[in-house]
Amino acid sequence: MVEQLAMSIVWLLVLMIFCSGFASNGASTTNVSTRPDVVKLGAIFSFDTLIGKVAKVAIEAAVEDVNSDPSVLGGTKMKVTMQDSNYSGLLGLIEALRFMEEDTMAIIGPLNAVTAHILSHIANELLVPLVSFSVTDPTLSALQYPFFVRTVQNGLYQMAAIADMVDHYGWREVIALYVDDDHGRNGITALSNKLAEKRCRISYKAPLVLDSNRDSITDVLVKVALTESRIIVLHAYDSWGSLVFEVAKYLGMMGTGYVWIATTWLSTLIDTNSPLPSGTMDDMQGVLTLRMYTPDTELKRKFVSRWSNLTSGRTSKGPMGLNAYGLYAYDTVWLLAHAINAFFDQGGNLSFSNDSRLTQLRGGDLNLDALSIFNGGNLFLKNILQVNMTGVSGQIMFTPQKDLVHPALEIINAIGSGIRKVGYWSNFSGLSVVPPETLYTKAPNHSNSSDKLYGVVWPGQTTQKPRGWMSMTCSLGTA
């Protein structure tokens, strides 16, 4: 009886293998045979940055995971070549051009907004999607950049969250302290628009130079101290942002009455370099910061528990905690894998042709005529934007405006030697103390109940909400 059953199972299996082989042979006329053995992707970012070093590990892990599961790409292997742009926009540009000479289907990166703006123009012309897991600059969502795809939350939403916080606490005016490049300026423009929707405004804009140091920060903060507003939004880079707190503390600007709201750079610093030196934590007592929120799922928990294995032996460049960008970088590779699969399923070809405008430039030392146009670029872009998958960062799907769905952030308060979660913000329901995904099933509700956020310990170790401004005579007295 048992033998008979086993026998029929064997026959069933043989039959299934035979049928599926037969079926796929039948359908494979054009589509399956056009699948190459290897597809090439490029990645450009600075390996030494907090975001870059974490992303590198995550991307390598994702490529390995994709390639070890033949069902994802139907036997095709994915090859991601990573280039270190080493903080240089020019290097990033040249490396991107080199990828475009090498029949690359898509480029992962770049890390910063300045390079993204330049590369997006080239991506548009050569039809090679530029897929960034780190650039949050809202202006890159413009229709001008169809081949720029953002696999991280649009920075517009963190500015909306800050505007909601300012309104929630009943303040009206803020000071914007920001790095004076595309990332900083465009972020602050978005903040200004979002504040205006709440009838609030930026009363003073204080730009910081790209490679700020103690002296340049001091010059700017001295002017900030002379203004009336005590609400300071700091939109900087993780490489030197905490130096602003150090100088501010020295100038007496981290005391009672001040409010500091740091954008996601600070949570990235805390997550990656955790635990921060106690001196650094001391400087930022009472600061609020935002962290991109990714729901707590089984997939994410598994990845988080793999993290120490993935990074063991790589910590020569300092501690390497997992940050939100690492999750988005991991999912970016999977997103591309799914899109590549759909592309070949729909009969896409991996063919490239020379740009006739560039071949006419022949003669110079720049080998520009080697740049090629990806003939299937438009179809591939469409496949990318149509992906709907669940990754370690949650659901990966794009709105018609090319933004990731369900943008949400956590609001964090730096207290003592650590951090404390004060609440959440989501595009769906605004500020809340419950995780956003519990609200998605309910009707959107932005109404202002009193328990929208937990209590904050403000600078100066007080739980009393600062009023947000100081009259000039007082500020001169403390300066």
Ligand X SMILES: *[C@@H]1O[C@H](CO)[C@@H](O)[C@H](O)[C@H]1NC(C)=O
Q: Considering the complex, what minimum distance in angstroms separates the CB of residue 227 from ligand X?
A: 27
Let me know: does 216 contact 243? Beta carbons within 8 Å: no
Nearer to ligand X among residue 160 and residue 177 (C-beta): 160
Nearer to ligand X among residue 8 and residue 346 (C-beta): 346
Nearer to ligand X among residue 16 and residue 27 (C-beta): 27
Q: Considering the complex, what minimum distance in angstroms separates the CB of residue 312 from ligand X?
A: 8
Q: Give buried/exposed letters for 239-277 (b at 16+ CB in 10 A, else e).
A: ebbbbbbbbbbebebbbebbbbbbbbbbbbbbbbbeebe
DSSP string for 318-360: S-----HHHHHHHHHHHHHHHHHHHHHHTT----EEE-HHHHT
What is each CA distance from 282 to 47, 48, 224, 255, 419, in whole angstroms? 29, 26, 21, 12, 12
Nearer to ligand X among residue 144 and residue 386 (C-beta): 386
Q: Considering the complex, what minimum distance in angstroms separates the CB of residue 388 from ligand X?
A: 4
DSSP string for 244-269: HHHHHHHTT-SSTT-EEEE-THHHHH
Q: What is the number of other CB atoms lying within 10 angstroms of the CB of residue 413? A: 21
List residues near ligand X by CB under 6 A: 27, 31, 84, 86, 305-306, 309, 345-349, 353-354, 369-370, 376, 379, 388, 397, 399, 403, 405, 407, 427, 443, 445, 447-449
Q: What is the number of other CB atoms lying within 10 angstroms of the CB of residue 214? A: 13
Q: Considering the complex, what minimum distance in angstroms separates the CB of residue 398 from ligand X?
A: 9
Q: Residue written as tokens 């920060």?
A: 217
For residues 285 and 416, what is the distance between their CA atoms, to the nearest angstrom? 7
Nearer to ligand X among residue 25 and residue 478 (C-beta): 25
For residues 331 and 379, what is the distance between their CA atoms, to the nearest angstrom? 21
Nearer to ligand X among residue 233 and residue 439 (C-beta): 439
Q: Select the residue whose beta carbon is closest to ligand X and give its number.
A: 347
For residues 155 and 88, what is the distance between their CA atoms, to the nearest angstrom? 22
Q: Residue written as tokens 């009336």?
A: 228
Nearer to ligand X among residue 25 and residue 278 (C-beta): 25
Sign of torsion over alpha carbons 431, 433, 436, 440: negative
Nearer to ligand X among residue 206 and residue 379 (C-beta): 379
Q: Considering the complex, what minimum distance in angstroms separates the CB of residue 177 from ligand X?
A: 26
Q: Considering the complex, what minimum distance in angstroms separates the CB of residue 265 from ligand X?
A: 21
Q: Considering the complex, what minimum distance in angstroms separates the CB of residue 225 from ligand X?
A: 31
Q: Considering the complex, what minimum distance in angstroms separates the CB of residue 7 from ligand X?
A: 33
Q: Which helix (H) or strand (E) holds 129?
A: none
Q: Considering the complex, what minimum distance in angstroms separates the CB of residue 35 from ligand X?
A: 10
Terminal-to-terminal C-alpha distance of the chain? 93
Nearer to ligand X among residue 27 and residue 222 (C-beta): 27
> Which residues lie closer than 8 Å to 332 by C-beta, 6 or more apart?
59, 62, 108, 131, 133, 151
Let me know: does 289 contact 421? Beta carbons within 8 Å: no
